[in-house]
Amino acid sequence: MSTDKHTNESGRQDAHAAASKVVLITGASSGIGAATARLLAAGGHRVFLGARRTDRLEALVGELVAAGHSAAYRRLDVTDAADVQSFVDVARAVHGRVDVLVNNAGVMPLSPLEALRTEEWDRMLDVNVRGVLHGIAAALPVMRVQGGGHFVNIASVGAYEVSPTAAVYCATKFAVRALSEGLRQESAGDIRVTVVSPGVTESELADGIGDPSARQAMRDYRSVAVPASAIADAIAYAIGRPADVDVNELVVRPSASAR
């Protein structure tokens, strides 16, 4: 741990720094990922950020470092298992451990099933499901060796209910919940597992909707939304609990929304 950023004037590590964790965040270039990076870095954690848009990551890391926080990034495609493994390996080489992996990367190109947008279905499966599996496969052995760790998997209210145009998206988020619960049951005692399920949240997630009817429906649906910082707060809450407390599921919705 770097003494210039994590010790007080007397040279003794303060309590805030002692709680510092190495937190890896996928999909960190915008939205929930970026908000989480800002909040956790400001809280004294060492964040290691991954996404495909390195220009945004560079700007975000520059902002955090200029504020005196510990942050670094690496280009990451969560659909590539080898790339996710390298992401985790580099973070471990830099910081010596991996305490938390926030599996946040996700896509949401909604459409009716009859539109047969099969390439979009494949993309959602690759990012939303395989991306989480790749993260687990890369980080779980590291956490086992070091004697503990924490997975925070970002699902959705779509992991609890299905709506028109969202069948495939919801299926991927149901899968994230199932994978998380299985991992929790298999890892009781040393690995914590949290599912955070956002309701409508201010983000770029809906920007990739190509189907015109689904795009308009989502614009209407997203008229009431919580800021990405609200989801970051939930993630920080779960991470900040004592080691013997495992917050398994958090659902965060706009208070004005019935769904």
Q: What is the mean pLDDT of residues 163-183?
A: 97
Q: Which residue has the tokens 């991954």?
A: 50
pLDDT over 60 at 14, yes or no: no
Which domain range does residue 60 map to? 17-241+248-252
Residue 147 CA: distances (Å) to CA of 96, 150, 160, 163? 13, 11, 32, 41
Per residue in 82-129, pLDDT tens? 999 999 999 999 999 999 999 999 999 999 999 999 999 999 999 999
Answer yes or no: is 148 within a domain: yes
Answer yes or no: is 210 within a domain: yes
Per residue in 33-79, pLDDT tens? 999 999 999 999 999 999 999 999 999 999 999 999 999 999 999 99
Amino acid at 192: R
Kindly report the pTM of this predicted structure: 0.87
| Terminal-to-terminal C-alpha distance of the chain | 44
Answer yes or no: is 257 within a domain: no
Answer yes or no: is 141 within a domain: yes
Answer yes or no: is 8 within a domain: no
Q: What is the mean pLDDT of residues 134-160?
A: 97
Q: How confident is the model at residue 209 (pLDDT cuts 50, 70, 90)?
A: low
The domain spanning residue 220 has which CATH number?
A: 3.40.50.720
> Active-site residues: which are they?
169
Q: What pLDDT does residue 222 have?
A: 56
Answer yes or no: is 104 within a domain: yes
Number of domains present in the structure of the chain: 1
DSSP 8-state symbol, 162: -
Strand partners, 153: 103, 195
Question: Which contacts qualify for 180-184: CB closer than 8 Å, 24 or more apart?
Answer: 180/151, 180/153, 180/155, 181/248, 183/136, 183/140, 183/151, 184/246, 184/248
Tokens for 157, please give them. 């209210």
Q: Cα(152)–Cα(192) distance, rounded to whole angstroms?
A: 8
Q: Where are the beta strands (DSSP E) in the chain?
A: 22-26, 46-51, 71-75, 100-103, 149-154, 191-198, 249-252
CA angle 38, 42, 47 (to 5 degrees): 60
pLDDT over 70 at 5, yes or no: no
Strand partners, 13: 7
Answer yes or no: is 83 within a domain: yes
Q: Cα(56)–Cα(46) distance, rounded to whole angstroms?
A: 18
SS3 (DSSP) at 78:
coil
Per residue in 124-140, pLDDT tens? 999 999 999 999 999 99
